[in-house]
Amino acid sequence: MPKRSASAKPAPAKKAGKAGGNDALAAAFDELKFYEMKSTNHHAAVAYDKVAKAIRAHKSVISSGAEMASTPGVGKASVAKIDEFLSSGKVAKLEEFRSTWGELPEQVTKTMKSGATGKSAKPSKTKPVPAAVVKKIKAAQTNYEAKSNDTLKTLLRQNGGKVSGTKAELARRCAEGQVLGAFPKCPLCHAGKPQLDFKTGEYKCPGYMDDDKWAPCIFKGELERDKWNE
Protein backbone atom coordinates (compact mmCIF):
# COMPACT_ATOMS: atom_id res chain seq x y z
CA MET A 1 0.00 0.00 0.00
CA PRO A 2 1.66 3.29 -1.05
CA LYS A 3 2.42 5.76 1.71
CA ARG A 4 0.99 9.22 1.58
CA SER A 5 3.59 11.95 1.33
CA ALA A 6 4.15 13.81 4.59
CA SER A 7 3.47 17.06 2.76
CA ALA A 8 0.13 15.88 1.44
CA LYS A 9 -2.85 17.47 3.13
CA PRO A 10 -6.41 16.16 3.28
CA ALA A 11 -8.88 18.00 1.08
CA PRO A 12 -10.67 20.77 2.98
CA ALA A 13 -14.17 19.87 4.07
CA LYS A 14 -16.90 21.47 2.03
CA LYS A 15 -19.31 23.77 3.78
CA ALA A 16 -22.74 22.30 4.30
CA GLY A 17 -25.11 23.31 1.55
CA LYS A 18 -22.43 23.90 -1.11
CA ALA A 19 -22.45 20.40 -2.56
CA GLY A 20 -25.56 21.19 -4.59
CA GLY A 21 -24.13 24.52 -5.73
CA ASN A 22 -26.40 27.47 -6.37
CA ASP A 23 -29.30 25.25 -7.42
CA ALA A 24 -29.60 23.69 -3.95
CA LEU A 25 -29.51 27.15 -2.38
CA ALA A 26 -32.09 28.49 -4.83
CA ALA A 27 -34.32 25.48 -4.17
CA ALA A 28 -34.37 26.37 -0.46
CA PHE A 29 -35.70 29.84 -1.33
CA ASP A 30 -38.19 28.27 -3.74
CA GLU A 31 -39.52 26.20 -0.85
CA LEU A 32 -39.75 29.29 1.35
CA LYS A 33 -41.63 31.00 -1.48
CA PHE A 34 -44.18 28.20 -1.77
CA TYR A 35 -44.72 27.92 1.98
CA GLU A 36 -45.28 31.68 2.24
CA MET A 37 -47.84 31.38 -0.54
CA LYS A 38 -49.59 28.56 1.34
CA SER A 39 -49.72 30.78 4.43
CA THR A 40 -51.14 33.62 2.24
CA ASN A 41 -48.11 35.87 2.81
CA HIS A 42 -47.95 36.81 -0.86
CA HIS A 43 -45.54 39.73 -0.40
CA ALA A 44 -42.94 37.44 1.19
CA ALA A 45 -43.52 34.79 -1.49
CA VAL A 46 -42.76 37.28 -4.26
CA ALA A 47 -39.66 38.45 -2.38
CA TYR A 48 -38.31 34.89 -2.03
CA ASP A 49 -39.05 34.26 -5.70
CA LYS A 50 -36.80 37.19 -6.62
CA VAL A 51 -34.02 35.85 -4.38
CA ALA A 52 -34.24 32.35 -5.91
CA LYS A 53 -34.01 33.79 -9.42
CA ALA A 54 -31.09 36.04 -8.45
CA ILE A 55 -29.22 33.05 -7.00
CA ARG A 56 -29.72 31.00 -10.16
CA ALA A 57 -28.58 33.94 -12.30
CA HIS A 58 -25.33 34.30 -10.30
CA LYS A 59 -22.43 33.29 -12.55
CA SER A 60 -20.27 31.59 -9.90
CA VAL A 61 -20.93 29.28 -6.96
CA ILE A 62 -21.99 31.42 -3.99
CA SER A 63 -19.80 30.92 -0.92
CA SER A 64 -21.28 33.56 1.37
CA GLY A 65 -24.31 35.80 1.69
CA ALA A 66 -22.09 38.85 1.28
CA GLU A 67 -21.75 38.00 -2.43
CA MET A 68 -25.48 38.63 -2.88
CA ALA A 69 -25.82 41.61 -0.52
CA SER A 70 -25.69 44.20 -3.32
CA THR A 71 -28.02 42.27 -5.64
CA PRO A 72 -31.39 44.02 -6.20
CA GLY A 73 -34.17 42.18 -4.37
CA VAL A 74 -31.86 40.43 -1.91
CA GLY A 75 -32.31 42.01 1.53
CA LYS A 76 -30.44 41.57 4.80
CA ALA A 77 -32.79 38.83 6.02
CA SER A 78 -32.21 36.81 2.83
CA VAL A 79 -28.44 37.33 3.07
CA ALA A 80 -28.58 35.90 6.60
CA LYS A 81 -30.57 32.90 5.36
CA ILE A 82 -28.01 32.30 2.60
CA ASP A 83 -25.21 32.22 5.20
CA GLU A 84 -27.32 29.95 7.41
CA PHE A 85 -27.89 27.49 4.57
CA LEU A 86 -24.25 27.51 3.45
CA SER A 87 -22.98 26.82 6.96
CA SER A 88 -25.52 24.22 8.07
CA GLY A 89 -27.44 23.04 5.01
CA LYS A 90 -30.65 24.21 6.66
CA VAL A 91 -32.73 27.34 7.16
CA ALA A 92 -34.57 27.57 10.49
CA LYS A 93 -37.56 29.32 8.91
CA LEU A 94 -37.87 26.58 6.31
CA GLU A 95 -37.67 23.83 8.93
CA GLU A 96 -40.41 25.63 10.87
CA PHE A 97 -42.63 25.72 7.77
CA ARG A 98 -42.06 22.00 7.10
CA SER A 99 -42.99 21.17 10.68
CA THR A 100 -46.14 23.30 10.52
CA TRP A 101 -47.39 22.60 7.00
CA GLY A 102 -45.82 19.23 6.21
CA GLU A 103 -44.12 18.40 2.92
CA LEU A 104 -45.14 20.33 -0.18
CA PRO A 105 -47.27 18.53 -2.80
CA GLU A 106 -45.33 16.72 -5.53
CA GLN A 107 -46.83 18.98 -8.21
CA VAL A 108 -45.23 21.93 -6.43
CA THR A 109 -41.80 20.42 -5.75
CA LYS A 110 -41.53 19.43 -9.43
CA THR A 111 -41.41 23.11 -10.35
CA MET A 112 -38.48 23.96 -8.05
CA LYS A 113 -35.84 23.21 -10.68
CA SER A 114 -37.69 24.91 -13.51
CA GLY A 115 -35.35 27.87 -13.26
CA ALA A 116 -32.19 25.86 -12.67
CA THR A 117 -29.12 26.19 -14.86
CA GLY A 118 -25.98 24.13 -15.31
CA LYS A 119 -25.63 20.37 -14.80
CA SER A 120 -28.64 20.04 -12.53
CA ALA A 121 -30.96 21.80 -14.95
CA LYS A 122 -33.73 19.59 -16.28
CA PRO A 123 -35.70 20.34 -19.44
CA SER A 124 -39.39 20.87 -18.91
CA LYS A 125 -41.47 17.78 -19.61
CA THR A 126 -44.37 19.87 -20.82
CA LYS A 127 -45.02 20.06 -24.55
CA PRO A 128 -47.27 22.26 -26.68
CA VAL A 129 -50.81 20.98 -27.06
CA PRO A 130 -50.86 19.05 -30.38
CA ALA A 131 -52.58 20.73 -33.32
CA ALA A 132 -54.95 17.76 -33.66
CA VAL A 133 -56.13 18.28 -30.07
CA VAL A 134 -56.61 22.01 -30.63
CA LYS A 135 -58.67 21.21 -33.73
CA LYS A 136 -60.80 18.80 -31.69
CA ILE A 137 -61.44 21.48 -29.06
CA LYS A 138 -62.51 23.99 -31.72
CA ALA A 139 -64.95 21.47 -33.17
CA ALA A 140 -66.42 20.78 -29.72
CA GLN A 141 -66.77 24.51 -29.07
CA THR A 142 -69.22 24.83 -31.96
CA ASN A 143 -71.49 22.26 -30.32
CA TYR A 144 -71.33 23.97 -26.93
CA GLU A 145 -72.16 27.38 -28.40
CA ALA A 146 -75.61 25.99 -29.21
CA LYS A 147 -76.30 25.50 -25.48
CA SER A 148 -77.61 28.16 -23.10
CA ASN A 149 -75.35 30.21 -20.83
CA ASP A 150 -76.92 28.60 -17.77
CA THR A 151 -76.16 25.12 -19.09
CA LEU A 152 -72.56 26.05 -19.85
CA LYS A 153 -72.06 27.57 -16.40
CA THR A 154 -73.55 24.51 -14.73
CA LEU A 155 -71.13 22.26 -16.62
CA LEU A 156 -68.18 24.45 -15.68
CA ARG A 157 -69.16 24.61 -12.01
CA GLN A 158 -69.39 20.83 -11.69
CA ASN A 159 -66.00 20.49 -13.40
CA GLY A 160 -64.09 23.20 -11.54
CA GLY A 161 -64.08 25.68 -14.41
CA LYS A 162 -64.28 29.46 -14.41
CA VAL A 163 -67.85 30.71 -15.01
CA SER A 164 -67.26 34.35 -15.92
CA GLY A 165 -66.92 35.72 -19.44
CA THR A 166 -68.80 35.77 -22.74
CA LYS A 167 -70.77 32.85 -24.11
CA ALA A 168 -67.96 32.11 -26.56
CA GLU A 169 -65.49 31.94 -23.66
CA LEU A 170 -67.78 29.66 -21.67
CA ALA A 171 -68.22 27.37 -24.68
CA ARG A 172 -64.47 27.38 -25.25
CA ARG A 173 -63.81 26.26 -21.67
CA CYS A 174 -66.42 23.52 -21.87
CA ALA A 175 -64.87 22.28 -25.10
CA GLU A 176 -61.42 22.24 -23.51
CA GLY A 177 -62.82 20.33 -20.56
CA GLN A 178 -64.59 17.76 -22.70
CA VAL A 179 -61.39 17.02 -24.65
CA LEU A 180 -58.74 17.36 -21.92
CA GLY A 181 -60.70 16.69 -18.72
CA ALA A 182 -62.09 18.59 -15.74
CA PHE A 183 -60.22 21.69 -14.61
CA PRO A 184 -57.55 20.98 -11.95
CA LYS A 185 -57.22 22.79 -8.63
CA CYS A 186 -54.09 24.75 -7.80
CA PRO A 187 -51.92 22.56 -5.53
CA LEU A 188 -50.28 25.65 -4.05
CA CYS A 189 -52.90 28.29 -3.18
CA HIS A 190 -55.84 25.82 -3.35
CA ALA A 191 -58.15 28.63 -4.45
CA GLY A 192 -56.98 29.76 -7.88
CA LYS A 193 -57.85 28.11 -11.18
CA PRO A 194 -54.69 27.17 -13.12
CA GLN A 195 -54.87 28.00 -16.81
CA LEU A 196 -53.30 25.90 -19.55
CA ASP A 197 -50.83 27.61 -21.86
CA PHE A 198 -51.43 25.80 -25.15
CA LYS A 199 -48.06 26.92 -26.53
CA THR A 200 -46.03 25.33 -23.73
CA GLY A 201 -48.38 22.76 -22.23
CA GLU A 202 -47.72 24.28 -18.80
CA TYR A 203 -50.33 25.31 -16.24
CA LYS A 204 -50.09 28.67 -14.50
CA CYS A 205 -52.25 29.85 -11.61
CA PRO A 206 -53.02 33.59 -11.72
CA GLY A 207 -54.34 33.72 -8.14
CA TYR A 208 -57.74 34.44 -6.62
CA MET A 209 -59.87 37.08 -4.91
CA ASP A 210 -59.22 37.12 -1.17
CA ASP A 211 -62.12 39.09 0.31
CA ASP A 212 -61.85 42.44 -1.49
CA LYS A 213 -58.32 42.18 -2.90
CA TRP A 214 -56.53 40.04 -5.44
CA ALA A 215 -54.13 37.42 -4.07
CA PRO A 216 -51.62 36.43 -6.78
CA CYS A 217 -50.26 32.90 -7.05
CA ILE A 218 -46.92 31.81 -8.51
CA PHE A 219 -47.61 28.16 -9.30
CA LYS A 220 -46.66 26.85 -12.72
CA GLY A 221 -46.05 23.31 -13.87
CA GLU A 222 -47.67 20.05 -14.89
CA LEU A 223 -51.09 19.00 -13.63
CA GLU A 224 -53.30 15.98 -14.18
CA ARG A 225 -56.97 16.33 -15.07
CA ASP A 226 -59.87 14.15 -13.99
CA LYS A 227 -62.58 12.92 -16.33
CA TRP A 228 -65.01 15.56 -17.61
CA ASN A 229 -68.40 15.20 -15.95
CA GLU A 230 -71.37 15.91 -18.21
Q: Are 149 and 167 in contact (CB under 8 A)?
A: yes
DSSP H/E element including 180: helix 167-180
Characterize 27-52 residue by residue with b for buried, 16 or more Cβ atoms within 10 angstroms of its Cβ, and e for exposed: bbbbbbbbbbbbeeebebbebbbbbb
Q: What interhelical angle do 149-157 and 167-180 show, nearest 10?
A: 40
Active site residues: 81
- Cα(180)–Cα(171) distance, rounded to whole angstroms? 14
Look up residue 12 and give its amino acid. Answer: P
